[in-house]
Amino acid sequence: MTDAATPPPQPIPWQTADVVEIVTQTPRIKSFFLTLAQPFAFAAGQHVDVRLTAPDGYRAMRSYSIASPPDDRTRLELAIELLDDGEVSPFFHDVVAVGDKIELRGPLGGYFLWPPGETGPLLLIGGGSGLVPLMAMLRHRRAAGLTLPVVLLLSSRTWDEVLYREELLALDARRDGFELVLTLTREPPRRPGDFGRRVDAAMVLDVVHRLPSAPNLVFVCGANRFVDAAADGAVAAGIPAAQVRTERYGA
Amino acid sequence: MFTRGFSGRRPPSNTAGRVPPGQHLVDDFPVLSAGPTPRIAPEQWSFTLKVGPKPVKTWDWAAFNALPKKTVTRDIHCVTTWSKLDTHWVGVQIDDILADAQLTPPTAFVLAHSYGGYSTNVPWADLAGEKAMIAVDYDGQPLEADHGGPARLLVPHLYFWKSAKWVNGLQFTERDEAGFWELRGYNMYGDPWREQRFTGD
């Protein structure tokens, strides 16, 4: 119910975005760089809804997390994983080309986002393309010159499937309070301190202890089974459930 | 506008009229939730009916399961755009909960509350008249924790975030009060046929 004196809230408008660059990031993930007709402010961790319309008016809609930081509004980056039986991701991977126009609206999502003024420490846990909203957070931390302690635990199948691998390694090498921990589920680890198995409670406890003190917030993003394992691990490590925020790639 | 090169995958023709605009069908049952999955044993579970701050009646698991059970088959629609047809549920209809508490609905607005702190608002009119239940079984099995077990609200004609998982109470409120997602940009009502996904839709 809206008070009579309050105007009804305006819907978030659909707008057209131009595809200006496409980058193959891993064998199954491509980045789509978009310029918007009406650029918007957003928080790291938010997503957009993308809407595709067929000639007969049929529409398909999906949500994609924003990978680029809010500090750069000139281009929006969506990193989209190819799902073999998908309807929309194969279209992006096989059909979309530079110069195409895509309809979207945003920003959307009011919970899985970088908390303004946060002093940390923060623990980020991502599985595969679940890194995307966490990457926007890490890029924001770097672009804004923030120094709060952050550990990222990232699970990937193989070294070659580590999304944004070179950028993450470069961030890690800065030693500015950010630490990258990789776990590979189908290969042995390549760096000291990394893991070579699926995320479990012992691994989460290990990375919690790499922070200077217990994390204020934990952000977990990925497929549901991954998120359950990581979030249960965080709770088992003594972090209150209310401080563990999850985003599950459900469909 | 049309999207160059997009033809899409339409729902099968025998589902015509059952898939709301912008939705696509799934065969699995995706899990979406904002935090860790609460693990509530049935013997720890209870359900409280409140009017404002005042508790009217509380049921433990055994007492709740002694209330009349109904079986329903419904289509469900998630705001993240998946829909699932013909899902089977067993539970206690909200009408029967109020009858057991001998409560006449005191206001037109209800907040559902959950273990873990989740809440969501649903008008009484959308809970009454066999439109909603507290579900305890899904597809012939006790409801799994990932899907809200031991018990979840089921309001299948609204987007599925209204069907609060891990539900532990219903509260009548004087006004239409926003719940967890409604405070964070989601629509106050959530009718999938009108695509009421976000504030202002």
- The ipTM estimated for the assembled molecules is 0.93
Residues A6-55: pLDDT tens digits?
Answer: 566 789 999 999 999 999 999 999 999 999 999 999 999 999 999 999 99
Residues A85 and A185 in one domain: no
Residues A227 and A177 in one domain: yes
Nearest CA in chain A to B109: A1
Q: Which of B22, B184, B197 sits opposite A110 (nearest CB)?
A: B184
Last-in-domain residue among A51, A73, A108: A108
All residues of chain B having their beta carbon less than 8 Å from the beta carbon of residue A112 are 34
Quick check: is A115 in a domain? no
- Whether B30 sits inside 8 A of A251 (CB atoms) is yes
pLDDT at A9: 78
Residues A126 and A224 in one domain: yes
Report the CATH number at residue A22: 2.40.30.10
Quick check: is A102 in a domain? yes
Residues A40 and A152 in one domain: no
- Whether B21 sits inside 8 A of A59 (CB atoms) is yes
Asked if residue A190 has pLDDT above 80, the reply is yes
Quick check: is A8 in a domain? no
- Whether A251 sits inside 8 A of B81 (CB atoms) is yes
The model's pTM is: 0.95
Q: Provide φ and ψ at A52, rounded to 5°.
A: -110, 135
Residues A244 and A140 in one domain: yes
Q: Which of B4, B32, B36 sits opposite A100 (nearest CB)?
A: B4
Tokens of B45: 């579970």
Residues B43-81: pLDDT tens digits?
Answer: 999 999 999 999 999 999 999 999 999 999 999 999 999
Residues A138 and A99 in one domain: no
Helix or strand run (H / E) with residue B94: helix B94-100
Residues A102 and A163 in one domain: no
pLDDT at A118: 87
Domains of chain A: total? 2
Interface of B with A (CB under 8 A): 1-10, 21-22, 24, 26, 28, 30-38, 78, 80-82, 116-117, 146, 175-176, 181, 183-185, 188, 197-201
Last-in-domain residue among A73, A108, A143: A108
Q: What is the CATH number of domain B42-181?
A: 3.90.420.10
Residues B20-39: pLDDT tens digits?
Answer: 999 999 999 999 999 999 99
Residues paired with residue A15 on neighbouring β-strands, in sequence order: A104
Q: Which of A92, A235, A243 is the best substitution to test chain B (most B C-beta atoms within 10 A)? A: A235
Quick check: is A89 in a domain? yes
Quick check: is A141 in a domain? yes
Residues A172 and A133 in one domain: yes
Tokens of B78: 């998630």
All residues of chain A having their beta carbon less than 8 Å from the beta carbon of residue B32 are 248, 250
Report the CATH number at residue A216: 3.40.50.80
- Whether A246 sits inside 8 A of B36 (CB atoms) is yes
- Average pLDDT value over all residues in chain B: 96
Quick check: is A114 in a domain? no
- Whether B5 sits inside 8 A of A95 (CB atoms) is yes
- pLDDT-derived band at B11 (thresholds 50, 70, 90) equals confident
Quick check: is A7 in a domain? no
Q: What percent of chain A has pLDDT over 70?
A: 96
Residues A152 and A221 in one domain: yes
Place of tokens 């599985």: A127
Last-in-domain residue among A108, A138, A158: A108
Q: Which domain holds residue A33?
A: 15-108
- pLDDT-derived band at A116 (thresholds 50, 70, 90) equals confident
Nearest CA in chain A to B6: A54
Give the mean pLDDT of B10-26. Answer: 92
- Whether B24 sits inside 8 A of A53 (CB atoms) is no
- Whether A241 sits inside 8 A of B31 (CB atoms) is no
Asked if residue A2 has pLDDT above 60, the reply is no
Residues A42 and A143 in one domain: no
Residues 6+ positions from B41 with CB-CB distance below 8 Å: B150
Asked if residue A1 has pLDDT above 60, the reply is no
Q: In what order do the strands lie in the sheet with B109-114?
A: B54-60, B46-51, B167-173, B109-114, B119-123
Residues A136 and A243 in one domain: yes
- Whether B33 sits inside 8 A of A52 (CB atoms) is no
**Helix residue ranges, H only, A63-220:** 89-94, 131-143, 165-173, 201-208
CA A105 from chain centre, in angstroms, equals 17
Give the number of beta-carbon pairs within 8 Å between A and B.
121
Residues A74 and A154 in one domain: no
Quick check: is A220 in a domain? yes
